[in-house]
Amino acid sequence: MARYPKRTLIPGSGPLARVPAPVVFLLVLALFGVGVWLQGAVGALLLGVLALGVAVMLAVTWPLLTPGARGLRMVVLALLVLIMVSVL
């Protein structure tokens, strides 16, 4: 089996650049799933933490993103906020 070099979505040398993408995906998936499953204030708080993380990442990477990527990420953020409000 051939090994492929690690590719990053956006190049950088910050602390998150060293975290493997599958770990981040599983963490986000778990946080979202637990937030939706718990519902109420605790679920909304977990989804709010996730939304805050998405918003911070969007703000930091904004200049590097194409207009299409910006729009898609804004839609994801809006959907996350709507889901957060709906679990309250």
**28-82 pLDDT per residue, tens:** 999 999 999 999 999 999 999 999 999 998 998 899 899 999 999 999 999 999 9
> pTM of the full predicted structure?
0.79
The span from the CA of 36 to the CA of 87, in Å, is 7
The span from the CA of 83 to the CA of 44, in Å, is 8
Q: How many CA atoms lie within 13 A of 83 on its CB side?
A: 20
Q: Please name the amino acid found at residue 43.
A: G
Look at residue 1 in the predicted model and tell me its pLDDT. Answer: 54
CA 39 to chain centre: 19
